[in-house]
Every structure is written in C-alpha cells, then in structure tokens.
Amino acid sequence: MPRDCTRVALFVLLLAALCGRGAAQGDAGFHYLDPGQIDLTVLLPPPPDLGSAQQRDDEEKVAAQIAARNSSQLASAKAASQRSVFFFADSIGAQFDPSRFPLTDAFFARVGSDVKELVDLAKAHWSRPRPDGAVKNRGSYPSGHAAFAASTAILLAQLVPCKREQIFTQARTFAENRIVLGLHYPSDIAAGWTAGTLAVFVMMRNPAFERDFAATKAELQKECAPAL
C-alpha cells in the first residue's frame, strides 16, 4: 500500500505539472513554443553591467550612429520598423502582399507572436535601461526587432531560397536600424538575433509548426514561382 500511495502521489504531481505547463503556455499565447523548452535568461549572456567598459562601448556606438545619421536615413529607419513578414516585399517582389498570401500572413503572425512573447520574458528579467533619449525607459535587452528579423529571415529564406541573400541583407539592416534610431545598443541587437535564431530552432521541431510551414511553402511556391 505505501508503494501504491507513492505511485499515485507521483502521478498526481506529474499531472499537475503537465497541466501547469499547458496553462502557462495558453496564458502566454504561445503557438509553436512551450516557454519551458527555452529560457533566454539561461541561453543568452547577461547585458553589460552599468558603468562597465562594455556598456561604455555600447553607448559610444549608439552616439556615433546618431551623430552620423542624416534626416533621410532617420526617416527611412522609422518607416521600415514594422514587424511584418511583408516588410520583405523589397527582397521578394511587389507581388508579396498579404491579400495574396493569407496562409503566409497567418503563419508568420504566429511565429512573430511567439518570438515576441519569448523575448518579452527576457526583457522583464533583465530590465535593461534603453539608450538615453529613447521613448521607453527599460526593456532594451534583447532587441525584439532583431529577434523578429532573424526568425523571419531564417524561415522566409527557406521558403523562397532564391532570395536568401536579399532577405538576410534586409533583415540585418532592419535590426541595425534600431541603433540608428537610438532605441537599442549593439549588444541588444546581437542578443536579439541569437534569441530569434534559438526560437526558430525550437519551433521547427513542433508538429503544428511543421504542418503550417508546409502549407505556407505550398502557398508561396504556387503563387511566387512564376514571378521569381
């Protein structure tokens, strides 16, 4: 009997843990990720300490970018800051539009949501102050825009491989524009890019992701192949 009781107790504890994980996943709004699978606060290095040489280097690089930018560069960086897969129409072609690719739109919206939720957990953990003059005071590390750029570019380049180079070039510019705008430090961008890469690596092993990725690939091949 004691052994049986122990087994029952272990089963109840296991069931409670699994239910707890499922609730946490649903509450956070994850689609292809279980936040228990990937902890950015473990996988990423912490941001530079305030007053450290690394922090001063970050500050100097942001100041240099702000000093070197002109009004045209500033306007361009502001205009190209929307986190949407269709930002990459410049790389893929004018036909790359949400009205023509509803499955692609929905798939990347779910991916983007997962990446944002994951990065927001890390932002809350470190609560790094933004560069001086930024509208937001905290949540600088890691960069959510850089994580979006990396995750989207990795997947989109697989879906439209003939545009891989253009996609990654545009993604890097998208991420680095956050420094030009004075909203992030270079170390934020580097960590964000790593975060987006890690998130996609984990997502790609999710059955629901695999199914939706295949449907998205079929949609893009059907519509884009003739134009490409």
pLDDT tens readout for residues 82-105: 899 999 999 999 999 999 999 999
Q: Are 162 and 168 in contact (CB under 8 A)?
A: no
Report d(CA 160, CA 225) in Å as an integer: 9
Per residue in 132-179, pLDDT tens?
999 888 999 999 999 999 999 999 999 999 999 999 999 999 999 999
With pLDDT > 70 as the criterion, what percentage of the chain qualifies? 85
pTM of the model: 0.84
Computed over every residue of the chain, the mean pLDDT equals: 87
Query: For residue 9, what pLDDT is reported?
Result: 37
In this prediction, residues 23-28 reach a mean pLDDT of 40
- Type of residue numbered 223: E
* pLDDT single digits (tens) 72-88: 999 999 988 889 999 99
Q: Each residue of 205-220: pLDDT tens digit?
A: 999 999 999 999 999 9
